[in-house]
Amino acid sequence: MRSLFVGRFQPVHKGHLFTIKQILEKGEDLVIGVGSAQYSHTPDNPLTGGERVMLIKRAILAEGLPIERVDIIPIPDIHIHPLWVAHVKSLTPYFDKAYSHNPIVSSLLSDAGIQVDSTKLLERSRYSASHIRDLIRWMKSDWEDLVPAAVVKMLKAYNIDKRIQRIGETTLKR
């Protein structure tokens, strides 16, 4: 049994890890799809797809979870919902089931004949990547409690925290 779990992981946090652990503990192998993978350097998507793959892997290894049972796959957005499930399937190892808490994702998956399951969630307003990006922007150090320690360390080592602050709410348009 292999299951799919898709997120944007901007950045990966303890809520993601909580979901990942539950799925692995049920004995299901896991394909982690990193959504909007082509984007970076925007307020909502500060990290590149590759950076997110790197952080997720580090978090899994630091937690002592079995990395050989996990695939981490960047999934670029195609912006055309009716093709999205076919797109995800073409880029990922075969999976039997998918996890999602988002009604559109669930509805696209189940319309395509894929069983949708769910996990327990940590407190959703705190363990939210959008909330964590805001805390980083406002220079509030309590974001560090919401993110795995190994990830905090990498975000600082690679100055990704500074990138999040600098980009703030501006956009590329001059």
Find all residues with CB under 8 Å of 88, minimum gap 6, and list them: 4, 6, 33, 75
The neighbouring-strand residues paired with 116 are: 98
**Minimum distance between the CB of residue 77 and a copy of itself, rounded to whole angstroms?**
8
Of the residues 21, 22, 62, 73, which one makes contact with a copy of itself according to CB under 8 A: 73
**The residue count for the chain:** 174
> What is the Cα–Cα distance from 168 to 137, expressed in whole angstroms?
7
Of the residues 3, 7, 20, 59, which one makes contact with a copy of itself according to CB under 8 A: 7
| # residues contacting a copy of itself (CB under 8 A) | 59
Stretch that binds a copy of itself, among 88-96, 117-125, 134-142, 145-153 (CB under 8 A): 88-96
Of the residues 14, 20, 30, 51, which one makes contact with a copy of itself according to CB under 8 A: 51
Find all residues with CB under 8 Å of 26, minimum gap 6, and list them: none
In three-state form (DSSP H/G/I as H, E/B as E, the rest C), the secondary structure along 5-16 is EEECCCCCCHHH
Of the residues 21, 87, 97, 153, which one makes contact with a copy of itself according to CB under 8 A: 87
| Tokens 């919902």 -> residue | 81
Of the residues 12, 35, 127, 144, which one makes contact with a copy of itself according to CB under 8 A: 35
Of the residues 18, 21, 22, 42, which one makes contact with a copy of itself according to CB under 8 A: 42
| Tokens 């990138």 -> residue | 163
> What is the Cα–Cα distance from 105 to 111, expressed in whole angstroms?
10
* Interface residues toward a copy of itself, by CB under 8 A: 6-8, 35-42, 48-51, 53-54, 57, 61, 67-68, 71-74, 76, 80-87, 89-94, 100-105, 107-108, 113, 158, 163, 166-168, 170-174
